[in-house]
Homo-oligomer: A and B are copies of this chain.
Amino acid sequence: MIGLDRVSRTFPTRDGEVTALSDIDLRVDKHEFVAVIGRSGCGKSTLLRLMAGLLAPTSGTVTVDGAPVRRPRADVVLMHQLPALLPWRTALGNVMLPVEIRRLPRADHRVKAAELLDAVGLTGFHHRHPYELSGGMQQRVALCRALIQQPRVLLMDEPFSALDALTREELATQLQAMHMSAPATTVFVTHSIAEAVLLADRVVVLSTRPGRVRQVLDIALPRPRSFGHSAHVAEAAGYVAELHDLLLHD
C-alpha cells in the first residue's frame, strides 16, 4: 500500500544541509498497523510528512497504491504533531472541517463528530473554542478530526503525547478496536514503547542523525491486546524490553 524506496530528505540551513532521513526502504501493507519509534529529532515527523505528500523526498520515491505521491491525497489523512486547530471554530466545528471540505453529508457526520468527541471524553466541551480547552483536550479534538474522515491510510504523529497515562490507554484501546472492526492502513508515531507493542503489527525503529531504519520488529501477539493484563504479558514485556534496548544502543 505505502512504499518508500531509498528515500532521503535533507533540509537546507544556513550552515549547510541537515539530513533528516537517509536511505529509507519501507513497505506498509494494506490494513497493516505500523508503529514508528525513535529518539526525538530522528525524523519521524519528516517520515509522515513525506508519506502524506506534504514534503517531497530529496531522493528516492514514495508511493501509495503504487502511484508516486506528489501531493496530498484525499484517502491519506495525517494527524499532525501539533493540534493545529482553527481558533475561530468550536471543538465540534474543528472536527467538522474535513467534512465540509470534502463535501461529505453534513447531518450524518455531525452526529458522528459528536459521538467521536464524546468517545474521547469531551462531552460538554463540543461548543468550546480551542483556547478554552486544555492541551490534552485540544489534542483529542485533533484526533477526532482525523478519525471522522475514515481514511484508507491514517498517519498519526504522536497522537497521545499530551494525554495522561490513563486516557492514553483508553484511547489506544479504542483505536485498536476501531482498527480491528474497520482497518485502515496506519502509520503511528509514538514515544511509548508499550503503546507501540499494544497496537502495531510491526514496529519500525529509526536511528538518529541521519534517520535510518535501524530495525523492524514483528509483534506476533494475538488481538485484542491489552496493557499488562493479558495472557501474553510476558511476551509483550519481551518486545518492550527488546525495543527499549534497540533505542538505548542507538
Residues of A within 8 A of B (CB): 11, 13-15, 18, 37-41, 45, 81-82, 121, 127-128, 132-137, 140, 158, 161-168, 191-193, 244, 247-248
Contacts and interface: CB of A to CB of B under 8 A. Distances in A.
A162 B40 contact: yes
Contacts of A163: 40, 191
15 contacts: A15-B127, A39-B121, A39-B167, A40-B134, A40-B167, A41-B121, A41-B133, A41-B134, A41-B137, A45-B134, A81-B135, A81-B162, A82-B135, A135-B158, A165-B192
Contacts of A127: 14-15
Contacts of A137: 40-41
Contacts of A128: 13
Nearest to A80: B135
Contacts of A161: 161-162
A18 B132 CA distance: 10
A156 to B, nearest CB: 14
A158 to B, nearest CB: 7
Contacts of A37: 164
Contacts of A18: 132
Contacts of A38: 164
Contact of A13 (B13, B81, B132): B132
A187 B128 CA distance: 29
A125 B104 CA distance: 44
Contact of A247 (B14, B132, B166, B193): B166
